[in-house]
Structure 1
Amino acid sequence: MAGGHETVEERFVRALGRGVAGIDWQGRWPDEPEFDSSGMATYDGVGIAFNGDTAAWGERADHHTVFVHVDKYGDLSRAERLAASIGSTVLGAAQGGW
């Protein structure tokens, strides 16, 4: 809390409590011609599972999970490159999402 005021995110998580929720942002990842990989606005984006660890609403978990959505069938190597571009890594196996 900065200056005693909660951010929107902090208020959302507090209001959610132990409930399960998700927020998705669709977009289009940059093309990667060197890997013969193109962005797809229909399938690209980021999703957050609050109190969950599955992309398709599963059981409740004691943590939040961020998902990188790529390609209709998933493309783990592309997701790994996108995560690396922001200094992060992919944890876990690919999952079906939206």
Structure 2
Amino acid sequence: MSDDIAYPVFRTPDVVLALGAARRLMEFGRCEYSEVSVCAMLGSVAEVRRVAKALPAALFRGHEEAWEFEGMSWEEHPALVLGVRGPDLPSDPSAYEGRLPVECELRDLPVGSIEDAFTAAIGSNSGEINWEHLAWPDAPEAGFHGESKHAEVTLLLNTGTRDLDDRTDEHTVLVHVRSSSFGGRQMREPYAHWLAEQVGLAVIGPGQRW
């Protein structure tokens, strides 16, 4: 079993530039089975309803406290906690009490099918676009074999962390590689540098673990 580590390679307040940089990196590793997923955290009922109109196929799932429904059957859970599509969101504002932020997500879609619409819809909410099932090539001059298990690109929107809980006015592109640590040092960090350099980017900060 192995884990990944994601290095920031580009940061800007311009979402168009951020999306372009992320796509450039993603295309370097894209293959026939690559997919994209998106996720956003929505902090108000008004934002939930606005985004639902823009992304009606998205799944919306409300916040729940740990052990809140322990011992209860699935039928007893509120629909918003289990997850509903945009058209099925509750119309009663009281249904959102204690359920914010609401997570909005679309998963495992074809590359190019959702990125523009999601970027246009997210507004000031924090979220991410994640391209996975990529295939990083060999880098013989750097001494690294290619990989696919941990080959991903993430665009963080209005946040600086993969937890989506650090609200910022900037967007950050992350390149993922396999985590391989020895003596506290990430042995595959140079591979992340190499990958970024192939598309005109550069590692600009420490790696993030999920």
TM-score bucket (shorter structure): 0.7 to 0.9
User: Counterparts of 1:18 and 1:34 in 2: how far apart (Å)?
Assistant: 42
The residue that corresponds to 1:84 in the other structure is 197
* Number of equivalenced pairs: 89
Q: Which moved more, 1:13-22 or 1:33-42?
A: 33-42
Return 5+ residue gaps in structure 1 as ranges: 1-7
Kept after mapping to 1: 8 A contact 2:142/2:194: no
Amino acid at match of 2:174: F
* Bigger Cα Rg: 2
* Number of the residue aligned with 2:126: 20
Higher helix share: 2
1:48: which partner in 2? 155
Paired position in structure 2 for 1:94:
207
2:178 corresponds to: 71
Unaligned runs of 5+ residues in structure 2 are 1-114, 181-185
CA–CA distance in structure 2, aligned partners of residues 57 and 28 of structure 1: 25
Higher strand share: 2
Post-superposition shift, 1:54? 1.4
Deviation of 1:33 (Å): 3.1
Amino acid at match of 1:83: A
What is the distance in 1 between the residues matched to 2:143 and 2:194?
13
Letter of the structure 2 residue corresponding to residue 88 of structure 1: L
Q: Secondary structure at the match of 1:86?
A: coil
> Offset at 1:37?
1.7
CA RMSD of aligned residues (A): 1.9
CA drift at 1:55: 2.9
Cα distance in 2 for partners of 1:55, 1:25 equals: 14
Q: Is the 8 Å Cα contact of residues 152 and 175 (structure 2) preserved in structure 1? A: yes
Q: Which has the higher contact order (CA 8 A, sep 6+)?
A: 2
Whole-angstrom distance in 2 between the partners of 1:81 and 1:54 = 22
- The whole-number CA distance in structure 2 between the counterparts of 1:24 and 1:12 is 12
1:40 Cα deviation (Å)? 2.3
Query: Could you say which residue in structure 1 is the equivalent of 2:138?
Result: 31
Secondary structure in 1 matching 2:146: coil
* TM-score of the pair, normalised by structure 2: 0.38
